[in-house]
Structure 1
């Protein structure tokens, strides 16, 4: 296990790699590299500026921003000053921001852009924070004397006495120091601050070293929020391995820039691949007959190779010959949409549909599907190269113990398990067993080869009035992969059948409406049109054939707007807050059950 403190590991890389690119970002249409030595200087000056600003060891400092290189520079600066970094989702409302600031007793807040700064100004006005440091130099500080831009803040740290103070703090680094407080999304209640320390991160690195091959030649595209444990810990690991981290602020732009960035690795949630799969299938369906036949043949060849590799066998010369041809005619072009250089792509955060997974594996994209939680420093299990079982979420990382508890709940014991929830001893006690296992709240199955199969989230199981249990994620994942469905929320608890609230993908739906020459004045009229309702009925019927009868959606309502973070309907990680959604759409839901 890497015994060194994370900041010491970063210093080793800085010394070894010097001017090699550590970070990269697009500015004025050009991709600008930031070398390791520059990163190290920013880390030190930020730490020294914090000390000069009165920061005390173990004091918590917030980062409220979208992804950018300055996010990581500030993060490492906080850690170097022996502080505790507290990420806050940039889409958080003022109330959500205020809750975390108060709970973690944050006095100094790094913010990203104008929307975050304007929210933070209100906390300055109420005396809840004392200082704001703005990462984006284009933000208008609105004359606030307690605010400064990051560049000015770094300059204030270039001071001999604060450098000496930083060296003293370095001598006091401990592996059991708290590294970060990451607040969970709070789908069922108020957010809980997950406490992770340096020993958690060190154990995480060692486990990943045994499963993954990441090195100085790799380039990672940082597109998931750094405020989430997945991208945050992955960024640490990328830098620990000496690889390059490329930042984009808007994850919606990922497919626009991926061809320029050409990443070798990239973390993503299943939704990215589900949407890509839907678009590819739609384009193929509209292609000439010969191209459709060629695509179908190539996909079958790729799937055959995946099956053979999964079984641990060698492909025949004939199959390799077919694969050679499929590569040149089909697969290379498809992989080029993802930059053309990917080696493996970690995927987690929700259920990944088997047909979507198999399709991308067949075309040569190595999706490293897995499972983890904030409370386990991200990864618990993931695929091994080639030897994965479709339908599973992979094998447990070395050093982690798992077992099944009551109701087949997955229990995890590991040096990567959190220290607990901050200021919440009762909540901590509720999730830990007497023998040190964490209750994940997720039901699973284990096979004889060590593969884990996710079945459902126990807290979200819905029981119909007929006594049948419905796993909403399974139903939502089955229907949500359709290119005409942007969001979907299942309703079934205490009801005699399953219904759904569906937000259509309006780009696809409007394209369909034009293709059938359907006339309408507004979105609401489009959604009420009988042709549209019949169209969705037929697609839903076709999509859910694999579901049991009691799981299938019998009624649905099309919604004119997306579920919103501002209205509290979804969390910053895009998880549904079901109680709020059901309250918000009470009338629409009741109408589905009153008109049977």
Structure 2
């Protein structure tokens, strides 16, 4: 019987694969991918764990990781749980003030940091801090205060652990771990108010592991490219699953180079968010639109044939010779190009965080790339439902996984109950009580429905639903996702509460827009000038209309405003997990929005 203990799982895997030729983890150094073997992976975990014991880490202590994706993130995480402590995840993009809030709220005693930015941010509040005792730095390039013995590089921590006599204490703590131990505190992004620390135990993540094992193929020959931040529960949970199956991870240090990395790594699996797939889809179709004529016709034909073939194969139907021949030609002319763009070996993507348009799912499916759209939250560790290669319905978030139960409240809110659900918000009993129903279900804050076949469909966030002056209830995410897949749209926020019609603030895809202006000979002095040009406004009006064909009349955008600055984490208009802060944006652009409603 498998022990519901992630620390025991990784130690068992290290022992199993200690003599394996292939590496467990890869990272980019300059232009070269360098590997860490399973044996070295295990040694670093144990040395880091013993080093933390030497620093006085006690059971149930909170230890923070404030870093971007790199092997040291997962090594430190496993080391922390191995000594029966809890990892507090802090986004690498968090400001000094945000990091300080989390460190104070979690009463963190030790913090791991990545590069100079995170180190400098922590140093702003480290000196004289009543609780925080040590800073451990991942990158050797960071200039640290070497006169302070409480600041060190992770190599120093490894050395401290290697020289220690803490083996017996480490084993004692490993043996004492229970499935209900809190091993991770992940702070929700907080689109409104202060972030809250969701407490997750070992058992929470095993619900997902077991569900994934029953629905997806994953083994020792598989490769994941780690794209989403490990400080997010989605990638964190995926990482645990990957290691439990003996697969290999490549850490994406620069997300802007993901397409380049696809070609180098040739992954079989990756966690992504809808925006990534939307941009890929938009870029490919924009290229075809530009080519036009026969080339565009052949491309559309190839995608249609690919869909027909893959759906027939999925239904278990016998493929006719005609369809077989058409598919071979379509693969040669069109589908292979799409697959090669993603490395040529990808079996499936995992997608979550926001709804993904059905058209995009169908597009990748035609090239035999399955996007497993699912649904979950930080508080559900994270998955509550998902589609799988043998059981899916595009346009939905799949069926609920085993180990949790999903029901819909009278007002349409999605409620979840199970061992995957968090143990509450750290140090916030009232917020915890408010998040739960009397019969123990977690209130997700999302509106959804379960169809006649048992598939969950999410409409929008409960608090984001727009109720127009005409009484129409409109989920803005549906519209934002539909129009946002356009090549010329980077970001978009829809408004219209208590108004007669919908309006939108649109951040253009600036590079694509400037390329369009050059192709059309449109002279301009800068982005602020370009977005006011009549030709550009007409371009966006036409693109919005084209993407809105399947929307109801009351769901269509009547007026819009192009913006010269994007929504970012830095300007406070996005959360660290890249969710739009709708209320903040609405307040910032209040005058602009009001102007769109003047006759």
Q: TM-score range by the shorter chain?
A: over 0.9
Tell me the CA shift for residue 310 of structure 1: 5.7
2:513 corresponds in structure 1 to 509
Within the alignment, does 1:577 sit opposite 2:577 as a pair?
no
CA distance in 1, matches of 2:593, 2:456: 35
**1:293-442 mapped onto 2 (5 Å cutoff):** 293-309=297-313, 311=315, 313-442=317-446
- Is the partner of 2:597 in helix, strand or coil? helix
Gaps of 5+ in 2: none
1:134 corresponds in structure 2 to 137
**1:223-302 mapped onto 2 (5 Å cutoff):** 223-287=227-291, 289-302=293-306
CA distance in 1, matches of 2:436, 2:517: 53
CA distance in 2, matches of 1:583, 1:343: 43
Tell me the CA shift for residue 288 of structure 1: 5.8
- Is the partner of 2:156 in helix, strand or coil? helix
Deviates more, 1:38-47 or 1:432-441: 432-441
CA distance in 2, matches of 1:503, 1:198: 41
Q: 1:313 to 1:438 in 2, by over 3 A?
A: farther
Tell me the CA shift for residue 465 of structure 1: 2.2
1:496 corresponds in structure 2 to 500
Tell me the CA shift for residue 160 of structure 1: 3.9
**1:58-77 mapped onto 2 (5 Å cutoff):** 58-77=60-79
Tell me the CA shift for residue 286 of structure 1: 2.2
Q: Is the 8 A contact 1:311 1:387 kept in 2?
A: no
Tell me the CA shift for residue 231 of structure 1: 0.4
**1:459-474 mapped onto 2 (5 Å cutoff):** 459-474=463-478
CA distance in 1, matches of 2:230, 2:51: 23
Q: RMSD in angstroms over aligned alpha carbons?
A: 1.5
Tell me the CA shift for residue 391 of structure 1: 1.5
Deviations 1:14-55 (Å, cap 9, x if unpaired)? 111014311011113111111111011110111111111111
CA distance in 2, matches of 1:53, 1:126: 18
1:37 corresponds in structure 2 to 39
CA distance in 2, matches of 1:306, 1:343: 13
**1:144-183 mapped onto 2 (5 Å cutoff):** 145=148, 146-183=150-187
Tell me the CA shift for residue 500 of structure 1: 0.8
Tell me the CA shift for residue 442 of structure 1: 1.4
CA distance in 1, matches of 2:320, 2:204: 45
Deviates more, 1:448-457 or 1:115-124: 448-457
CA distance in 1, matches of 2:106, 2:556: 44
2:194 corresponds in structure 1 to 190
CA distance in 2, matches of 1:523, 1:273: 26
Q: Is the 8 A contact 2:27 2:71 kept in 1?
A: yes
2:557 corresponds in structure 1 to 553
CA distance in 2, matches of 1:292, 1:538: 20
1:111 corresponds in structure 2 to 113
Gaps of 5+ in 1: none
Runs of at least 4 residues off by over 6 Å: none
- Is the partner of 2:112 in helix, strand or coil? strand
Q: Could you state the TM-score of these two structures normalised by the residue count of structure 1?
A: 0.97
Deviations 1:528-563 (Å, cap 9, x if unpaired)? 111111111111122112111112111111111111
Tell me the CA shift for residue 312 of structure 1: 5.3
2:532 corresponds in structure 1 to 528
- Size of the aligned set, in residue pairs, is 595
Tell me the CA shift for residue 575 of structure 1: 0.8
Q: Is the 8 A contact 2:351 2:374 kept in 1?
A: yes
CA distance in 1, matches of 2:528, 2:563: 8
Deviates more, 1:57-66 or 1:325-334: 325-334
Deviations 1:327-379 (Å, cap 9, x if unpaired)? 12211121011011111111111110111111111121111111111111111
From 71, 79, 90, the counterpart of 1:88: 90
- Is the partner of 2:269 in helix, strand or coil? coil
Q: Could you state the TM-score of these two structures normalised by the residue count of structure 2?
A: 0.97
CA distance in 1, matches of 2:292, 2:211: 48
CA distance in 2, matches of 1:521, 1:120: 41
CA distance in 2, matches of 1:31, 1:11: 25
- Is the partner of 1:439 in helix, strand or coil? strand
CA distance in 1, matches of 2:495, 2:453: 36
Q: Is the 8 A contact 2:50 2:164 kept in 1?
A: no
CA distance in 2, matches of 1:586, 1:378: 34
Q: Is the 8 A contact 1:90 1:116 kept in 2?
A: yes
Deviates more, 1:380-389 or 1:363-372: 380-389
Within the alignment, does 1:97 sit opposite 2:102 as a pair?
no
Within the alignment, does 1:49 sit opposite 2:43 as a pair?
no
Q: Is the 8 A contact 1:306 1:386 kept in 2?
A: no
Tell me the CA shift for residue 120 of structure 1: 0.6
- Is the partner of 2:300 in helix, strand or coil? helix
CA distance in 2, matches of 1:288, 1:391: 29
Q: Is the 8 A contact 2:274 2:353 kept in 1?
A: yes
Deviates more, 1:524-533 or 1:430-439: 430-439
Q: Is the 8 A contact 2:68 2:253 kept in 1?
A: yes
1:221 corresponds in structure 2 to 225
CA distance in 1, matches of 2:318, 2:147: 67
Deviations 1:79-129 (Å, cap 9, x if unpaired)? 111110011001011221111111100121100111101001012125152
Q: Is the 8 A contact 1:211 1:397 kept in 2?
A: no
Q: Is the 8 A contact 2:67 2:118 kept in 1?
A: yes
